[in-house]
Amino acid sequence: MPIQFEHVSHTYSTGTPYEYKALYDINLEIEEGKITAIIGMTGSGKSTLVQHLNALLLPEKGTIRILDRTITAGEKPKNLKSLRGDVGLVFQFPEYQLFEETVIKDVAFGPKNFGASEEEAVKKAKHALSMVGLPAETYEKSPLELSGGQKRRAAIAGILAMDPKILVLDEPTAGLDPLGTVSMMSLFSKLNREMGKTVLIVTHDMEQVFKYCDNVVVVENGKIRTHTSVQEFFADSSLCREMNILPPALIRMKDLLKEAGFRIDDNIQDLDRLAYAVARQVKKHG
């Protein structure tokens, strides 16, 4: 089990007028080698939760086990640097954090910081940049010259260059256009399938959860509301509706068809099978 939370809670600004309890007694195990979606309303505690994964935030109470390391509340965390090399965290709008003169320098910064030689760091940076699909002619450009989508890719390459085992992404497609979103999600899917990375994605987009993720964790008011497989989560729309989440279009379509008297099996979760089921129940016409 690569990631395990045991009775973890977190409070911001303890002892000040701004004290705010963000996480309550979290127990959670994230499956290795899968893509897990972390969903919930803004302010539910999703980002607080994922920032514990590379010890950017430390638990107020409880224990977190990540790979072979343990972070315990009240104890000074050990081997922080190696943990941060293993768990790559990509923040919301990571393009705001690009800072070097050139794209290649920016991406090579991480590996260099982790002790790689200049040559090795550049090699890793080039590999990461090719993974995210940035062409070689962008390498010597200033990050500021890139388009919004390219900047996002460069920032993600900066994390990939450190070759983390676990990749944590906080709303990686926010503000991207539909094509940019698809290529970004395909990249994470590829990193998961072909390189065996465990991926956690904080997202509001149920179409992404439905299409690309294996498991879903729902965070609500600082607690884990549900943790289940994507298939189970979208078996029908009742869970989504209960939590005030707009279900994916296919699930909404199933609801409408069922209301209209069609018999649609809960297991049907792709367009072709849905069309097949409907086609069998309509009379010849036209």
DSSP assignment letter at 116: -
Task: Work out how close the CB of 35 gets to another protein at its nearest, in angstroms, rounded to a whole number.
Answer: 20
Footprint (CB under 8 A) of another protein, residues 62-101: none
Which residue from 27, 81, 82, 148 is in contact with another protein, where contact means CB under 8 A?
Answer: 148
State the minimum distance, in angstroms, from the CB of residue 270 to another protein: 9
Using rule CB under 8 A, residue 16 touches another protein: no
Q: Does 243 bind another protein (CB under 8 A)?
A: no
Stretch that binds another protein, among 3-11, 14-22, 103-111, 260-268 (CB under 8 A): 260-268
Residue number, 7 or 263, with CB nearest to another protein? 263
Helical axes 118-131 vs 148-160, angle rounded to 10°: 130
**Binding residue (CB under 8 A) for another protein from 11, 165, 257, 269:** 257
CB 175 within 8 A of CB 148: yes
How many residues belong to the site for another protein (CB under 8 A)?
37
Which of 6, 32, 34, 41 lies at the binding interface for another protein (CB under 8 A)? 41
Q: How far apart are the first and last CA of the chain?
A: 57
Find the helix or strand (DSSP H, E) in which 3 lies.
strand 3-12
Choose the stretch contacting another protein; rule: CB under 8 A; options: 16-24, 125-133, 226-234, 272-280. 272-280
Whether residue 64 contacts residue 70, with contact meaning beta carbons closer than 8 Å, is answered with yes
Query: CA–CA distance from 219 to each of 23, 26, 245 (Å)?
Result: 9, 10, 12
**Between 135 and 261, CB nearer to another protein:** 261
Q: What are 119's strand-pairing partners?
A: none
Kindly state whether residue 242 participates in binding another protein, applying the rule CB under 8 A: no
**Strands laid side by side in the 198-202 sheet:** 87-90, 166-170, 198-202, 35-39, 215-220, 223-229
Nearer to another protein (CB atom), residue 28 or residue 174: 174
Q: Cβ neighbours of residue 145 under 8 Å, at least 6 residues apart?
A: none
Residue from 82, 97, 113, 147 in contact with another protein (CB under 8 A): 147
Residue 36 vs 203, nearer CB to another protein:
203
Query: Does the protein bind another protein through residue 204 (CB under 8 A)?
Result: yes
- CB of 139 vs another protein, minimal distance in Å: 19
Q: Cα separation of 212 and 208, whole Å?
A: 6
Q: What is the rounded distance in angstroms from the CA atom of residue 126 to the CA atom of residue 135?
A: 10
On whether the CB atoms of residues 199 and 191 are closer than 8 A, the answer is yes
Residue 27's CB is within 10 A of a number of other CB atoms, namely: 13
Residues near another protein (CB under 8 A) are 41-42, 147-149, 174-180, 204, 245-246, 249-250, 252-253, 256-257, 260-263, 271-272, 274-276, 278-279, 281-283, 285-286
